[in-house]
Structure 1
């Protein structure tokens, strides 16, 4: 038989939960029970795949250290993963012993939380170990406490080894009639595979990038409902507005690039001795590189606000020669239509 221990503490040397877990493991070892301990703090990214380790377990021990309030984020993350990716049929025959050691107030509440969560998962909670520890040395050297831990462990062993039944709980009724996970119905194998993908940061990041790329592509193909239809009909939007607003300054040669977040094209403004060349394309280097949303650009070209105001308010960003940037509102005098 096999028992899995999931420890949700931080692994501190003076954590009394570690002492209790070691005592429990010693008792189970004497009873020829194979014990596997998982320290959740060692691999936080891998918590999502831990529900698959329950497949070959006959019983589970959840160990929590209460340092402030509740069972801690790591155990919650593990229980969330069990709810999302665990084999619900397996939980029906899985016994759980809660172990809660607190150095502050709240050990009873934490134990109740663990029992309640396990019932909601469909598992079978058993009598556990719950204690407040004010002095770690006194607790660990007490023969009476050690005896109680051993007896609690032996009682847990008898419960799961003999597959003893438990009295019915209203939590089971609530789970069956009310708490239904709003997820696609998957087989245990599919849930396990999904949990592996969720724990893979590079895979998740790549999926997000692909979704953003697809979203951008469809926006360009179909258009955004908030945008004017003329915007997408024009091959070179805003070019005419810049040409009309251009106010040349003799002997001035500068260049700007304007990246519009909604487009994948770059608007380039080249000013050479009083003449303007405005086009969409690429340029190796510019004096000032500007980046903004389409809405901010429209506010400028339609005379709602000058570029300097948008820059100072943080609505657009700019890199390069800021002396050249200050000449923009002089070179382009936009007016309201």
Structure 2
């Protein structure tokens, strides 16, 4: 029989959980069980690979200490790794005994969280140990507490050796009905390799650098493609210009996605049309590309664009309305 112990505490000397798992390991080894212990705080960067250690084990002990609130970050990371990278078929055959000792409030909730998480993963939870220990010395000197620990270890050994069945849990049924299947459909070997990559900080850093390089490359390509076309719309306005005798006005059109403004300077029969800037235009307009497209294709007038809110205008309204008289755009027939 093979049992792994995963300790999610900080490893401090007076941690009561350490005494409990040491005593359980001692009892299990007396029963000729092969026990391997993993201190998660010593394997911070390799927690994602620890689900690989679940291979060929018959049972595990998940042990942690509640020092403030919850089961702690290391244990949560390990459970997350089991969900992401663990072999669910293998986990379904593994018994788990939760051990949660508390120096504050929350040991029962912590034990329940571990049992619930293991059930959701598909595993088989055993009756565990939880308790509030204010002084570790009191735990070590109390023969009754030690006897409870020994009995729990023996019960775990008995459950595994006899392959005792567990009643189905509702959270497993709910998971089967509502859980979204993983579209990757990775094999256990591929999942194992993925967990190795995730835990390799050098590999992750190289991937980030490659992504940044590709992002910069595509950004430059888009920037080159998105450069302003200095001739766009100029020919259209020149072709549809119908001068009005004695009329003079300067128009500035700010088109979204254009870096420069479209300037229309009307001096009687002459029209100057270019992209640039004008200090004090008679009418300053702001519109989107779709709006200017509708106008030059005859689907909308400047006045209607203003009235509908598609175009914002500052300046003389009558001068703005004259645009529809000096630029006659006709809608193209299909």
TM-score band, normalised by shorter chain: 0.5 to 0.7
1:20-66 deviation digits (Å, cap 9, x = unpaired): 01100011001100000000001100000000000121101000100
Aligned to 2:51: 51
Counting matched residue pairs gives 237
Partner of 2:150: 150
Q: Does the alignment pair 1:15 with 2:15?
A: yes
Where 2:105 maps in the other structure, the secondary structure is: coil
Distance (Å, rounded) in 1 between the aligned partners of 2:173 and 2:128 = 23
- Which ranges of structure 2 fall in alignment gaps of 5 or more residues? 231-256, 261-275, 279-334
Q: Deviations over 1:132-155 (max 9, x none)?
A: 101211111111100010011101
Q: Distance in 1 between matches of 2:188 and 2:30?
A: 33
- 2:78 maps to what in 1? 78
Residue 118 of structure 1 aligns to a residue whose secondary structure is helix
**SS at the partner of 1:56?**
coil
- Structural RMSD (CA): 2.3
Ranges of 4+ aligned residues in structure 1 off by more than 4 Å: none
1:200 and 1:170 mapped to 2: Cα distance?
Answer: 37
- Which deviations, in whole Å up to 9, do the C-alpha atoms of 1:295-324 show, x marking residues without a partner? 9x99xx989xxxxxxxxxxxxxxxxxxxxx
SS at match of 2:117: helix
Q: Judging changes above 3 Å, is the alpha-carbon distance between structure 1 residues 218 and 38 closer, same or farther for their aligned structure 2 residues? A: same
CA displacement, residues 68-116 of structure 1 (integer Å, 9 cap, x when unaligned): 0010000000000000000011111111000000000000100111011
- Map of 1:32 onto structure 2: 32
Q: TM-score w.r.t. structure 1 length?
A: 0.67
- Cα distance change of structure 1 residues 210 and 17 upon mapping to structure 2, 3 Å threshold: same
List gaps (5 residues or longer) in structure 1. 232-294, 304-337
Paired with 1:181 and 1:95, the residues of 2 have a C-alpha distance of 24
| In 2: Cα distance, 1:14 partner to 1:159 partner | 30
Task: Report the Cα distance in structure 2 between the residues aligned to 1:164 and 1:94, rounded to whole angstroms.
Answer: 11
Cα distance, 1:136–1:206 mapped onto 2, change above 3 Å = same
Matched residue, 2:88: 88
8 Å contact 1:84–1:181 — kept in the other structure?
A: no
Structure 2 distance, partners of 1:155, 1:140, is 21
Using the TM superposition, give the Cα deviation of residue 221 of structure 1 relative to its aligned residue in structure 2, in angstroms.
2.4
Task: Give secondary structure in 1 for the equivalent of 2:96.
Answer: strand
Residue aligned with 1:27, SS: helix
- Considering only CA atoms, is the larger Rg found in Structure 1 or Structure 2? 2
Distance 1:56 1:108, change over 3 A: same
Q: What TM-score comes out, normalization by structure 2 length?
A: 0.67
Counterpart of 2:209? 209
Contact 1:24 1:153 in 2 (8 A): yes
1:172 Cα shift? 1.1
Q: 1:138 to 1:205 in 2, by over 3 A?
A: same
